[in-house]
Structure 1
Amino acid sequence: MSDKASLISMGFDPARVDWALKATKNSGLQPAMDHLLENSEKPIPEAGEADEEEDEDSVKANIKKIESGGTVDDSDLVARSIKCSECGKIFRSTANAELHAEKSGHDQFEESTDEIKPLTEEEKKAKLAELREKLAIKRAAQAKVDAKDNKANEALRRKAGQDSGKIKEDMQAKELQKQAEQKRREKLEDQKAKAAIKAQIEADKRERAEKAAREKALREGSSASQTPPAPVSVAKPAAGVSSSDNPQTRLQVRLSAGGQPLTKTFPSDNTLIDVAEWVASENLAYNVDTITFASTFPRKTYSREEMKKTLKANGLTPSAVLMAS
């Protein structure tokens, strides 16, 4: 694996890796790592701002001069590093020296011909181990932060789920309560309707019994003082008006198609056709041309001709119960 690939696998930014390799003249993995660590907070320089290359020819010339016994011209010497005059620490580049100055507060530097020796294999391994340890610590710290955030987010999601579940349960409870209330109202209405029908049947029975008693008394020549008591006030016609002459007729219509019975008061001169039109308007399951009516007491089914007669003519005044089909 190349030095660049190794550094990138350690988590370094590729652009900074390129800068480090170029700045260290591809002198190895360790110099590049040193450069990355020392310049981690520095911006990456633009093209053309790289360090000046060493003049190898000048160096070779100075070596020859020394070997031949001549003197070395200071102008031919090439600065290989930057040295801190206060602590003596040597740096490969100006960026490294500036970073040292920021951290230590030192401000006295000079150029040096000393060359920084590359790290030994043991030092490289130690440096790599140190880097990996730092990365592991950093990742562990980030993992703790992520775990804490995930836990908080999970708690929020659970609370949101519980809130939505409670709202759903409340809505279902209200709907069940509404349905129960509707059934209770329907039951009460049904009970009232049944009670009204029963009362009407009893009133009809009493009226027929009283009528039979009066007719019997007349046949036997009984005096008017022997006339049975007046009928009970239930379904009693207006004063001075006999039941058959009552101008109003109260009808209760039971529907074979199902549903609550229909109740309404009609003028006695209305026909059963009028009643059929009213039933058809109240329940679309019925048609005015095909609907038929029947009474339970006395048991009778009204023909189409009888449907054209008035309620009084059909003997339904003052009240009656009909079955619609």
Structure 2
Amino acid sequence: MDHLLGNAEKPIPEAQSEIPEDEDEEGLKAHIAKVGGGEELVARSIKCSECGKVFRSEASASFHAEKSGHQQFEESTEEIKPLTEEEKKAKLTELREKLAIKRAAQEKEDQKSNKANEALRRKAGQDVNRIREDLELKEAQKLAAQKKREKVEEAKARAAIKAQIELDKKAREEKAAREKALREGNAPKEAEPVVAVKPSAAIKSSDNPETRLQVRLSVGGPPLTKTFPSDNTLIDVAEWVASENLAYNVDTVTLATTFPRKTYSREEMKKTLKENGLTPSAVLLAT
């Protein structure tokens, strides 16, 4: 304090420069370079703030961002030196090795995929062949069943024609015999019924409660025999014939007596066996 009060009237000396005036130009340049003055900083590369890699161009930095997912980049004054011939060769060799490894992995993956696709193709081909074989087998079975039905129908038709021929032949023979007997003055002999049932002594034949019928089939085969109540109709007999032989239909079957020759109409089919005079027994032809 005493020093300040004693020197208060004296002038304040000028501040001296940090750099002495007697330094030469070389020293000044060195000092400026040391404190960082004089030159502007220039960005010479792009640096990834996340991994520290340096890139020459924005295209390289963008490619790195797409590959790595890094998003933080900054400009850098670090200059990337060009590669020497040895470094270029080493880099090219490294890239070729990576590419070869990548191609080998891709070929392995392609082989695996092709093998799986081939297995699927073979399985699909086997399934198609199996389906085709099943269809061919079903078609063959269907054709065989159809041929069998045709043979059965053809046999039935031949049997029906043969039976009709026999009936016509028998009718012609009987007619010729009757005409011959009339010419010679002799009465024709009546044919005996194929099936005869002796009536009970206490009951008249027409009042018998049961009627025994033998039905011959025009389609061939053994005759059908059954005893019906006398009050049953011929429609009941037709239903029974249709149930015994699938070649007949109850709506189209026709019943007739062989001797004397008589074909029953649909109205007569509704009458009872007694009303049609078939009691106690009779022989019918089903066509």
TM-score, normalised to structure 1, is 0.45
TM-score, normalised to structure 2, is 0.49
Structure with larger RCO (C-alpha < 8 A, sep 6+): 2
